[in-house]
């Protein structure tokens, strides 16, 4: 029985509700009156229910598809301006005891090279990341109680926050590790993590169990209820996602929105971010073995509809996607992208040859961070290295209220410009510096509040003179 506030996976992600939503969406996919109403509701930034969003996804009429894209662009702009937050993944260890059939870390894979970073290795990786200009990381690790226990993750977080190299600093560490206990989530919170990220992979229980035949991750309920435990452990920024390509996109799109609704209804705050990874080729993994690949045109529609369905949720795209695809997605909803990423363990210090492959998947966007920053500037997006909200305690519903109150222009815009200024002073190539300076000058003038504008100008001068780490 569907129960949005239940703590049981099979009740808040109810298979029969997903299936009846799919049927309802098909039946109404040409219902112009209803579609117009849904678009009107979305335009008022009220978000959409999973049922409403499912109708939009099913609707194939070109004029409505265009309207959806236009609205996604508008909402993206209204809430996030043209800022794009930058981050990089840091792979700590690929030891894993799970049997996930789509992931090269699976325990039976004998060809992948197993590696785990020591604290000294982490130090070196982080210095390499700081020297690129990164301020925000997403930690990644396989699940292995002996190699990667929670103590190892906690120690690694402490190491990362402690590294001060030149003007560099990692100011926000997000964590993507296997589902764990309330107690361990509390320890992660106490270690000062930003977002706890966990992908559901698929919400379809039957398929989930086939895709995860062995290991702790095979427990669908334990995995699906992880965000509830994270919230109970005091983490109020959680990031959800599905791995598109494992299950039909219709099923997982609805399941993911039901998950977001459950968190909002139960804890008063929805997910901080939604990630939209698509399955990639990897060591011992052939995407041709999976029958649910999502074509680009549908993928763009998924992102646009998510944007209007959950306007207050950040959306992340990784280097699994190509430059062209990422460029399109930035326009219609994405708010965070990774840059200069390596998915191999130790890959920032030592680029691997094919023989020593420890990577998680093949990336599609190989550009350096500086090249991505330049590309964003050319597209008139502001590359932002901001980590201010979390450091000012604006997490969970406090972050959401900043968005809802429209304080973005007086707070997030200056923070983006200040961190971009730091980036160009410390790391950028000359042509990026020139382009960014012009953008900073132009956009500082547009900060609406006079006092905030003056403060931003003062901070920019201080950064020019060698000071760092200002924030609103
Ligand atoms: N072990 C943790 C877990 O179970 O959630 C950490 C996650 S893993 C390092 C990060 C994510 O990579 C997975 O959740 C999965 O969605 C994704 N992934 C695994 N295999 C992939 C592949 N072949 N292509 C693209 N993404 C993949």
Structure token digits, residue 185: 């989530």
Q: What is the pLDDT of residues 112-155, one digit of tens each?
A: 999 999 999 999 999 999 999 999 999 999 999 999 999 999 99
Distance 35 CA to ligand 1 centre (A): 35
Q: Whose C-alpha lies nearest to ligand 1, atom 18?
A: 103
For 380, counting Cβ atoms within 10 Å of its Cβ (0-12 exposed, 13-18 middle, 19+ buried), the class is exposed
C-alpha 406/C-alpha 397 separation (Å) is 14
Give the distance (Å) from ligand 1 centre to CA of residue 246. Answer: 12
User: pLDDT-derived band of residue 407, with 50, 70 and 90 as boundaries?
Assistant: confident
> How far apart are the CA of 202 and the centre of ligand 1, in A?
12
Ligand 1 atom at minimum distance from 199 CA? 14
> Could you identify the residue written with the tokens 């209204």?
78
Ligand 1 centroid distance, CA of 251 (Å): 19
Q: Given ligand 1 and candidates 103, 174, 358, which is best to mutate, with the most ligand atoms within 8 Å of its CB?
A: 103
What pLDDT, in 10s, does the model give residues 239-294?
Answer: 999 999 999 999 999 999 999 999 999 999 999 999 999 999 999 999 999 999 99
Domain spans, the chain: 77-366, 389-464
Distances (CA, A) of 247 to 10, 148, 203, 256, 264: 17, 29, 8, 12, 25
Q: Which pLDDT belongs to residue 409?
A: 74
Going by alpha carbons, the residue nearest to atom 14 of ligand 1 is 199
Residue range 83-94: mean pLDDT, rounded: 98
pLDDT digits (tens, 9 = 90+) for 320-344: 999 999 999 999 999 999 999 999 9
For 254, the token pair is: 């609805």
Measured from the CB, is residue 279 less than 6 Å from ligand 1?
A: yes
Residue 111 near residue 412 (C-beta atoms within 8 A): no
Nearest to 242 by CA among 199, 195, 206: 199
The CB of 225 under 6 Å from ligand 1? The reply is: no
* CB-count burial class (<10 Å; 0-12, 13-18, 19+) for 336: buried
Dihedral sign from CA coordinates of 254, 255, 256, 258? positive
Average pLDDT of the chain to the nearest whole number: 96
Q: Which residues pair with 274 in a beta bridge?
A: 240, 315
Q: 138: Cβ below 6 Å to ligand 1? A: no
Question: Is the shortest distance between the CB of 282 and ligand 1 below 6 Å?
Answer: yes
Angle subtended by helix axes 50-58 and 249-267, to nearest 10: 160
Question: What distance lies between CA 331 and its chain's CA centroid?
Answer: 16
Testing ligand 1's pocket by substitution, the residue of 176, 216, 316 carrying the most ligand atoms inside 8 A of its CB is: 176
The H-assigned helical ranges of 59-149 are 62-80, 119-132
Query: Ligand 1 in contact with 303 (CB < 6 A)?
Result: no
Ligand 1 contact, 337 CB (< 6 A) = no
Indicate whether residue 178 lines ligand 1 (CB < 6 A): yes
Write down the pLDDT at residue 457. Answer: 98
Residue nearest atom 1 in ligand 1 by C-alpha distance: 142
List the one residue out of 301, 381, 384, 370 whose CA is nearest residue 65.
301
Confidence band of 436 (pLDDT split at 50, 70, 90): very high
Q: Is the CB of 383 under 6 A from ligand 1?
A: no
Is the Cβ atom of 360 under 6 angstroms away from ligand 1? yes
Helical H segments across 241-362, by residue range: 249-267, 296-309, 323-332
Ligand 1 midpoint to CA 194 (Å): 19
Ligand 1 atom nearest the C-alpha of 96 is 1
DSSP of 180-212: --HHHHHHHHHTT-S-EE---B-S-HHHHHHH-
- Contact partners, residue 78, CB within 8 Å, separation at least 6: 45, 311
Q: Which CATH architecture has domain 77-366?
A: Alpha-Beta Barrel (3.20)
Say what the pTM is.
0.97
Using the atom order of ligand 1, give the atom closest to the CA of residue 320: 25
Is the pLDDT at 408 greater than 90? The verdict is: no
Buried b (16+ CB within 10 A) or exposed e, 60-82: eeeebbebbbebbbebbeebbbb
Report yes or no: 343 and 361 within 8 Å, Cβ to Cβ: yes
Do 78 and 95 touch, CB atoms closer than 8 A?
A: no
pLDDT of amino acid 401: 79
The 3-state DSSP class for residue 263 equals helix
Confidence at residue 356, expressed as pLDDT on a 0 to 100 scale: 75
Q: Is the CB of 345 under 6 A from ligand 1?
A: no
Residue nearest to atom 25 of ligand 1 (CA): 279
Query: What average pLDDT does this structure show over 214-232?
Result: 98
Task: For the chain, state the CA radius of gyration.
Answer: 21
Rounded CA separation 145/397 (Å): 33
Percent of the chain past pLDDT 90, that is, above it, reads 93
How does 87-103 read in b/e, with b if 16+ C-beta sit within 10 Å? bbbbbbbbbbbbbbbbb
Task: Kindly write down the DSSP assignment for every residue of 314-330, as one continuous string.
Answer: EEEE-TTS-HHHHHHHH
Distance 125 CA to ligand 1 centre (A): 21
Average pLDDT score over residue span 61-68: 98
Ligand 1 pocket check for 374: Cβ under 6 Å: no
Give the residue whose CA is nearest to atom 5 of ligand 1.
178
| pLDDT surpasses 90 at 68 | yes
Q: How confident is the model at residue 357 (pLDDT cuts 50, 70, 90)?
A: confident
What DSSP designation does 351 have?
A: P
Residue 103, ligand 1, Cβ within 6 A:
yes
Q: Say how many Å lie between the CA of residue 103 and the centre of ligand 1.
A: 6
């Amino acid at each position: 029985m569907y129960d949005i506030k239940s703590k049981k996976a099979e009740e808040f992600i109810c298979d029969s509700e997903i299936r009846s939503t799919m049927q309802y969406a098909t039946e109404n996919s040409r219902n112009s009156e209803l579609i117009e109403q849904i678009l009107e509701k979305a335009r008022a930034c009220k978000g959409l229910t999973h049922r409403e969003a499912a109708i939009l996804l099913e609707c194939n009429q070109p004029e409505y598809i265009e309207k959806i894209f236009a609205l996604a662009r508008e909402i993206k702009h209204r809430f996030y301006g043209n800022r794009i937050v930058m981050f990089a993944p840091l792979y700590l260890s690929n030891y894993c005891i799970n049997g996930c059939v789509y992931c090269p870390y699976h325990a039976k894979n004998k060809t992948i090279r197993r590696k785990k970073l020591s604290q000294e290795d982490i130090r070196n990786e982080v210095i390499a990341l700081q020297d690129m200009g990164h301020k925000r990381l997403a930690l990644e690790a396989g699940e292995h109680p002996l190699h990667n226990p929670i103590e190892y993750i906690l120690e690694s977080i402490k190491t990362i926050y402690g590294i001060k190299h030149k003007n560099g600093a990692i100011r926000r560490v997000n964590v993507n590790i296997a589902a764990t206990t309330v107690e361990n989530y509390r320890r992660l919170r106490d270690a000062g993590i930003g977002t706890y990220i966990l992908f559901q992979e698929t919400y379809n229980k039957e398929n989930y169990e086939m895709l995860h035949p062995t290991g702790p991750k095979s427990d669908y309920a334990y995995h699906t209820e992880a965000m509830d435990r994270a919230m109970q452990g005091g983490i109020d920024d959680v990031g959800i996602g599905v791995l598109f390509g494992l299950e039909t996109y219709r099923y997982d799109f609805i399941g993911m929105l039901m998950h977001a609704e459950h968190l909002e209804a139960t804890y008063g705050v929805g997910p901080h971010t939604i990630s939209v990874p698509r399955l990639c080729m990897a060591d011992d993994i052939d995407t041709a073995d999976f029958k649910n690949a999502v074509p680009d045109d549908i993928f763009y529609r998924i992102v646009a509809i998510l944007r209007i369905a959950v306007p207050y949720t950040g959306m992340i795209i990784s280097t699994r996607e190509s430059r062209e695809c990422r460029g399109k997605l930035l326009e219609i909803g994405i708010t965070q992208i990774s840059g200069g990423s390596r998915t191999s363990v130790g890959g920032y210090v030592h680029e691997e040859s094919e023989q020593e492959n420890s990577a998680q998947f093949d990336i599609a966007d190989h550009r350096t961070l500086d090249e991505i920053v330049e590309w964003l500037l050319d597209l008139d997006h502001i590359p932002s290295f901001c980590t201010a909200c979390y450091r000012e305690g604006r997490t969970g519903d406090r972050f959401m209220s900043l968005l809802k109150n429209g304080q973005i222009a007086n707070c997030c815009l200056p923070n983006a410009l200040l961190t971009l200024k730091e980036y160009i002073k410390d790391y950028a190539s000359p042509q990026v510096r020139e382009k960014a300076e012009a953008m900073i000058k132009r956009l500082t003038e547009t900060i609406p509040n006079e006092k905030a504008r003056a403060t931003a100008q003062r901070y920019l001068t201080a950064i020019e003179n060698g000071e760092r780490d200002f924030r609103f």
